[in-house]
Structure 1
Amino acid sequence: MKHTTFPRNTIAQGDCIDLMAAMPARSVDFILTDPPYLVRFKDRTGRSLANDDNADWLEPATKQMFRVLKNDSLCVSFYGWTQTDRFMSAWRAAGFSIVGHIVFRKRYASKARFVSYTHESAYVLAKGRPALPDNPPADVIDWVYTGNRLHPTQKPVASLTPLIEAFCPEGGLVLDPFCGSGSTLAAARSVGRAYAGIELDQGYFHTASDRMAA
């Protein structure tokens, strides 16, 4: 396959597996992403997420993430805790090692069953042996409620920026292959990093594009 340089500060619409396969190897400084959790999620208004009902994409997408990430660099990925074994298996099969875990603390419960769910979580994954950051982020970060107006699982920019500042060098490129409404991209731009986003859903692609153009 012919590889082409992914333009900085752009968003592409399509399957991230195919689009990452067209990117050069070792061309991304940091990946921060929020993939489908494999839980058939629906919010209160009935909004759902593409490919949240199957795991067919998980291993091939993770392998491409590992390939395009520079050596000795990091990836932070949110995940569905009920599917932790599947995510762990895919990360390790791709070549990632697990070097950290982050809890995002909420002041509200997003759901309640046996317990009230008052946090989100993500793993810090390493390709090779990255250098330790000068200012490591805390492994517990406060969550700011977005209202999920732009996306059913919209992440707050303020909770993502400490990760980008710590794990992506100044002037580096942040990739989000499941960029949704573009929170990772907005966070990258706010701290002077370049961004590249990929979104499968055409509606959310336009939402993210309009957000970054505003």
Structure 2
Amino acid sequence: MTYKTNQLRNSIQHGDCIEVMRQMPARSVDFILTDPPYLVRYKSRDGRSIANDDNADWLEPASRAMFRVLKNDSLCVSFYGWTQTDRFMSAWRAAGFRIVGHIVFRKRYASRARFVSYTHESAYVLAKGRPVLPANPPADVIDFPYSGNRLHPTQKPVAALKPLIEAFCPEGGLVLDPFCGSGSTLVAASEANCDYLGIELDPAYHGIAARRLAA
């Protein structure tokens, strides 16, 4: 099956994002904002885990698929696991992305403490081609309100995602999140007057995201 872009606008697809993106037209999305597994075998305090967080088999093919479906001269923002930075960078560069920015999301709480207390999340800004500079570039340090992680063990706050969509996606453009979890990126896209496409492998989180967007 090959999807047409209009079939996918404002939808949440259940399945393997690599397979779904392979069925999408090339150069069909305006901006990608995503929070993939960090490759750290994460388990939340209440025992929840993330699918495919225990292997990197998906990383390079997913990066290639993201590059293919992104329009020329457009941007992608991807969270990543800092302990696996070399793997993420290698996959992004092999796919064709250029690294053009880095964002720190500042927390008011520590999610964990070892040698240091972990009070931030990070994401890279990746370019395909030569995107024009945004009219109002977002800061590279953004406050990260606590989501409560009620819907997903690594649930991102909409308030931290919306400014990125407003800066990097044209109004009415299509925002893709291939690892959409509970759908925070999709909610942020809707609030920013953009269309969205989410893909989620886990049926439970796909259902949560679908109900969240329907509401």
> Under TM normalisation by the shorter chain, which class is it?
over 0.9
- Aligned counterparts, 1:136-151, within 5 A: 136-151=137-152
Q: Distance in 2 between matches of 1:135 and 1:62?
A: 27
Deviation of the 1:12 alpha carbon: 0.3
**Is residue 145–residue 156 contact of structure 1 (8 Å, CA) maintained in 2?**
yes
Deviation of the 1:33 alpha carbon: 0.0
Aligned length in residues = 214
Deviation of the 1:3 alpha carbon: 5.0
Q: For 1:43-101, what per-residue CA distance to the aligned partner results, in whole angstroms no more than 9, with x for missing partners?
A: 00110000000000000000000000000000000000000000000000000000000
Q: For 1:87-117, what per-residue CA distance to the aligned partner results, in whole angstroms no more than 9, with x for missing partners?
A: 0000000000000000000011000000000
Q: What does residue 4 of structure 2 align with?
A: 4
Deviation of the 1:7 alpha carbon: 1.8
Please tell me the residue identity of whatever aligns with 1:19. Answer: V
Please tell me the residue identity of whatever aligns with 1:83. Answer: Q
Deviation of the 1:4 alpha carbon: 3.3
TM-score, length of structure 1 as denominator length: 0.99
Q: Distance in 1 between matches of 2:79 and 2:70?
A: 17
- Aligned counterparts, 1:97-112, within 5 A: 97-112=98-113
Q: Distance in 2 between matches of 1:146 and 1:206?
A: 19
Q: Distance in 1 between matches of 2:117 and 2:169?
A: 33
Q: Distance in 1 between matches of 2:93 and 2:174?
A: 23
**Is residue 3–residue 21 contact of structure 1 (8 Å, CA) maintained in 2?**
no
Q: Distance in 2 between matches of 1:191 and 1:73?
A: 17
CA RMSD of aligned residues (A): 0.8
Q: What does residue 87 of structure 1 align with?
A: 88
**Is residue 98–residue 123 contact of structure 1 (8 Å, CA) maintained in 2?**
yes
Runs of 4+ in 1 over 2 A off after TM superposition: 1-6
Q: What does residue 115 of structure 1 align with?
A: 116
Q: For 1:134-176, what per-residue CA distance to the aligned partner results, in whole angstroms no more than 9, with x for missing partners?
A: 0000000000001000000000000000000000001100000
Gaps of 5+ in 1: none
TM-score, length of structure 2 as denominator length: 0.98
SS of 1:129's partner is coil
Q: Distance in 2 between matches of 1:146 and 1:140?
A: 18
Q: Distance in 2 between matches of 1:190 and 1:68?
A: 23
Q: Distance in 2 between matches of 1:61 and 1:114?
A: 32
Q: What does residue 33 of structure 2 align with?
A: 32
Gaps of 5+ in 2: none
Q: Distance in 1 between matches of 2:150 and 2:125?
A: 27
Percent identity between the two aligned chains: 79
Q: What does residue 61 of structure 2 align with?
A: 60
SS of 1:153's partner is coil
Q: Distance in 1 between matches of 2:108 and 2:207?
A: 30
- Aligned counterparts, 1:1-214, within 5 A: 2=2, 4-5=4-5, 6-214=7-215
